[in-house]
Amino acid sequence: MKRGLRFFVVGLSVAVLAATILGASVARAAMNPPTWSVGDYWIYDLEGAEPLPDFQGTGEMRMDVVAIETLDVGGGSFSAYRLRLNVTMTTILGNTTTTVSLTGDSWFRTADLAHAKMTLSGSFLIFAFTSTLTYNPPISIQWPLDTGRAWSSTSTQTTVVTVGSVTQTTTDSVTRQFSVLTGQTVVVPRGSFATLPLRQSEGPDGYAISYWSDTVGNFVREENYDGLGSLQGSMDLLTYRYQGTGFFGTLVFGLSVFWWLVILGGIVLAVVAIGMMLRRRPRAPTPVPPYQPTYGPIPPMQPSPPTEPPGFPPTGPPGPP
């Protein structure tokens, strides 16, 4: 019994150790671009100035992948994911608490998730507004993400804002600086994730850090800092659906399929150990039935008839000559 138990414990320990090593190696490895699918979504908790600079408050943002389509920007066309945006944020202006609701769409190039275009509409106090932001070319991300990698992306940013009947258009040249920081584990309301932080900045006015996760297929946390390095706002993942993780990343009752396989592997090891234990146990001898002759029981002896003496029975006198 002890031998079988030791076999089970050692086998399960090896399986868990292998899973730990594999998980650690994945966390340190370079991250390839996620593959989004229609039906994927991410919901974030908002704190501070995210995603609306100059507005402090709390709220929630949801992003849904609703289509994969061809987008035309600046005379060029490419395949892009279209994400539906829904933002609700409560902010305080003076002594007044108000709610800002925004809806819109955002397009990301499928090849590298480069941000190409965004539209938003909503209302603030008594004003209704719409805005359209376009990058030509899109702000690119160089994949795979790997610690120490850095690059810059320059684009012409066109912003069109309409408030009531007034429309204003501005065009600027922007250059974003990107650098991939050391991987780290980030804890958010949805759980704990191994991430690669991506830092992006535009001039000395501030920067943002997005913590990208293979498992989530997006960032699990984003932080917005001012030029002095003070945190101004953040977004933390509340829940999500991402189909691009594949079979081993699929969650079943809160655990990935990989960890379920580890658990099932431990059960299999236990069954094997029990089988080995039973197979090594000496078997009791098989009882031998009492011997039975093949011809059956011997019949009882019968008494023999009496033996007649010679000349018996007596003969009569001889007849006359």
DSSP code at position 274: H
CA 72 vs. chain centroid, Å, equals 33
The predicted model scores a pTM of 0.68
Are 238 and 190 in contact, with CB atoms under 8 Å apart? yes
* Torsion sign (Cα): 301, 302, 305, 306: positive
pLDDT tens across the length of the chain (321 residues): 555 445 444 444 444 444 443 444 444 478 999 999 999 999 999 987 644 445 568 899 999 999 999 999 987 899 999 999 999 988 876 677 888 899 999 999 999 999 999 999 998 777 889 999 999 999 999 999 999 999 999 999 999 999 988 999 999 999 999 999 999 999 999 999 999 999 999 888 899 999 999 999 999 999 999 999 999 899 999 999 999 855 554 444 444 455 455 566 556 666 665 666 666 666 655 555 554 555 455 555 555 555 555 555 555 555 555
The whole-number pLDDT of residue 74 equals 81
The Cα 118–Cα 23 span in angstroms is: 36
| Nearest of 54, 80, 85, 84 to residue 69 by alpha carbon | 80
Work out the burial of residue 235: count CB atoms within 10 Å of its CB; fewer than 13 is exposed, 13-18 middle, 19 or more buried.
Answer: buried
Are 273 and 4 in contact, with CB atoms under 8 Å apart? yes
Are 240 and 65 in contact, with CB atoms under 8 Å apart? no
Polymer length in residues for the chain:
321
Return the number of other C-beta atoms located less than 10 Å from residue 278's C-beta. 9
How many DSSP H helices and E strands does the chain contain? 2, 15
The whole-number pLDDT of residue 16 equals 43
The whole-number pLDDT of residue 253 equals 44
| Nearest of 91, 172, 159, 175 to residue 119 by alpha carbon | 159
In the block, residue with structure tokens 């490419």? 78
Helix pair 257-280, 2-28: axis angle to 10 deg: 160
- Residue by residue, what is the 3-state secondary structure of 178-212? EEECCCEEEEECCEEEEEEEEEEECHHHEEEEEEE
The whole-number pLDDT of residue 57 equals 80
Q: Which long-range contacts (CB under 8 A, 24 or more apart) does 44-47 make?
A: 44/222, 44/235, 44/236, 44/237, 44/238, 45/189, 45/235, 45/236, 45/237, 45/238, 46/87, 46/89, 46/233, 46/234, 46/235, 47/233, 47/234, 47/235, 47/236
Work out the burial of residue 111: count CB atoms within 10 Å of its CB; fewer than 13 is exposed, 13-18 middle, 19 or more buried.
Answer: middle
